Structure 1
Amino acid sequence: MAIPEIFEGGKYSDERGNLIFNNNFNASEIKRMYCIENADTEFIRGWTGHKIEQRWFSVLQGSFVIRLIKIDNWEKPSRVSNVLTFDIDSEKLNVLHVPKGYVSAIQAGEKGSKLLVMADYSLGEIDDDFRFPLDYFENL
């Protein structure tokens, strides 16, 4: 079973400026990308998940808290689940990999934060979008 992991990026600075990079991330599976900008820092976008698709998240500006729950039964998920929490920011080009089988809840940590989302299927290629009310899982 694949588990979420962070591919660490880095930052190099000299008199010319900054270079933010990620030499550990292989983007060969990516078929599409989009950005998320939450309306404010109180709003939590979630729970949205994918049985088949994978996602990769990287913060372009600001910071985000991304909560993940592994779903074993998509027809009737357990309401009490183990929540994995990741705090990621734009200081380095870190990439959070979310394997298939997880739902996510995404919250901006700062006003104006921007999150790059990458997926391994094109839009409309498969029907794999599952949504649950924010209060569905009891331990958010």
Structure 2
Amino acid sequence: MKQIKLPNLIKGGIHTDERGQISFINDFKFDIIERFYIICNSDEYPLRGWHGHKIDNKFFYCVHGKVRVHFVKIDNWESPSKDLQIENILLTSEESNILHIPEGYANAIEFLESSSKLISFTTLPLTNVEEDSVRYPFDYWLINE
């Protein structure tokens, strides 16, 4: 029987004392991570997406500011339904959490504050990206928020 994987939030914490602040996510494991990117959108184009992954898993961590990650479970890679349910999670630098989006989803990243920064961790080697990556127009699914 195939295991059904759903997006989930890996919670961390922030410790502050007279020396400063430490953000941590002790339950996040790096053993499957192949590479990472730091993303900072322009104020003119605060939305990146939609980007789907057939076999890659994505992990998102907000380093600075506020970012909303929208995601849909793809029903058909060549012609997905336009009325798929859009879910989203708000990530902020004030909370130390990582959003895991498993394979089979498309995501769009919305930068809510100027100079927000997001780290995207990925599980797929760069040599396999072409066979996995599916892009849709940024307005394929309308975000109403």
Give me the TM-score of the superposition, normalised by structure 1.
Answer: 0.93
| Partner in structure 1 of residue 109 of structure 2 | 106
Structure 1 residue 48 corresponds to structure 2 residue 51? yes
| Partner in structure 2 of residue 134 of structure 1 | 138
- Given that 1:41 and 1:110 are in contact with CA atoms closer than 8 Å, whether structure 2 keeps it comes out as no
Counterparts of 1:13 and 1:136, CA distance in 2: 42
Cα deviation for residue 42 of structure 1 reads 5.3
Give me the TM-score of the superposition, normalised by structure 2.
Answer: 0.90
* Count of aligned residue pairs for this structure pair: 140
Higher helix share: 2
CA RMSD of aligned residues (A): 1.5
TM superposition outliers: structure 1 runs of 4+ over 3 Å: none
- Given that 2:46 and 2:112 are in contact with CA atoms closer than 8 Å, whether structure 1 keeps it comes out as no
Gaps of 5+ in 2: none
Percentage of identical aligned residues: 38
Cα deviations across residues 60-102 of structure 1 (Å, max 9, x unaligned)?
A: 1111011000002111110101011110011232100000000
Cα deviation for residue 139 of structure 1 reads 5.6
**Correspondence for 1:21 among 16, 20, 24:** 24
